[in-house]
Each structure stands twice: as C-alpha cells, then as structure tokens.
C-alpha cells in the first residue's frame, strides 16, 4: 500500500503543472500521513481519517481531470466517489480490517468511522478554503492556505482522537 501511494504521488507530481481541485502536495501529504500512522501502529480510526481524506482528494482530482478533458456523463461525480470508496473499502473489508467486532468506537468500526470523519473534514477544509478565497477577492489569505487548511484539520482531528483514547 505504501509503495502504491508513493507511485501515485510521484506520478501526479511528475505530470505537467495544471490546476487541480485539490493540490498534489496536499494529496501526497495525506498519503504520507497514512503511511506514518501505519508504520507507528496508530489506531485504525486515526488511520481512517487519512484514508478518508485521500479518497476525497483522489475523487476531486479525477473529477477535475474529467472536466478538463470535457468528459461528462450523468451521475459521474457520485460514481467517482462511490468507485474510490469501493476500491478502498472492499479490500479492507475482505482482509478483515473493516468489520472486526472488537475494533469499534461508539458502535461503528474504527476504520470506517475514521474514513467517514476524514472524508467530511477534508471536504469541509476544501470548502472553507474556497469560501475564504472568494471572500478575499479570489486570493488566499496566506501562501499555502490551500494545503494548510486540510492538513491542519486532519492533524487536529488525529491528535484529538489520540488523546481521547488516552482518557478512555
């Protein structure tokens, strides 16, 4: 999985510079966060946050790429999101990473909970960046804002979950 994420990240960084819905640096950072979490044995819900963010990022990249190629069909956005979630979640479920009865938080599988939370937070950060940029006349308030918002929100959520587990 780590090799696949590295190959995907390097491939997108090597492509000619074009405007992406979510920047390549942000997606590579999400992938790196996921790899580090797995390496250090971080809880599945925290890893799930990064997986969910990566899924949203890759979905937005694909939608943006299709838009640039003028490829449009009915329901493409939802199909792309569902496709990426299926490609990620089905193998995890088949391997027993999702659905283990002892790996739950608040009655939800920890990895699935993290994926949902990470997806929501990453999408919210992208929306917040877009809103603030429009409010500021089409300019970011600071250099790297597009990268900083999603990564900061994911780090904060990861730290909050980590310390929540310490209290339990």
Beta bridge partners of 109: 104
Question: What is the C-alpha separation between 47 and 112, in angstroms, rounded?
Answer: 10
Averaged pLDDT of the chain: 79
Q: From the centroid of its chain, how far is CA 126? A: 11
What average pLDDT does the segment 51-79 reach?
91
Which residue, 158, 157, 160, 134, is CA-closest to 145? 134
pLDDT score of 94: 81
Query: Which ranges of 69-109 would DSSP assign to H, the alpha helix?
Result: 76-94
Query: Could you tell me which residue, 148 or 49, shows the higher pLDDT?
Result: 49
- Domain span at residue 137? 2-167
CA distance 58 to 54: 6
Six token digits for residue 9: 């990240």
Quote the number of domains for the chain. Answer: 1
pLDDT of residue 15: 46
- Look at the pTM and tell me if it is higher than 0.75: no
């Amino acid at each position: 999985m780590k090799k696949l994420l590295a190959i995907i990240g390097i491939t997108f960084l090597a492509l000619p510079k074009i405007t992406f819905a979510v920047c390549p640096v942000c997606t590579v950072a999400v992938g790196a966060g996921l790899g580090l979490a797995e390496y250090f044995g971080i809880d599945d819900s925290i890893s799930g946050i990064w997986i969910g963010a990566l899924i949203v990022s890759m979905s937005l990249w694909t939608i943006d790429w299709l838009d640039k190629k003028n490829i449009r069909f009915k329901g493409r956005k939802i199909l792309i999101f569902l496709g990426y979630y299926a490609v990620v979640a089905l193998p995890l479920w088949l391997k027993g990473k999702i659905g283990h009865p002892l790996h739950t938080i608040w009655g939800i599988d920890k990895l699935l909970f993290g994926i949902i939370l990470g997806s929501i937070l990453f999408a919210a950060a992208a929306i917040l960046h877009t809103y603030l940029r429009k409010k500021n006349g089409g300019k970011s308030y600071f250099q790297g804002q597009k990268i900083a918002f999603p990564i900061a929100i994911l780090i904060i959520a990861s730290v909050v979950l980590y310390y929540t587990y310490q209290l339990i």
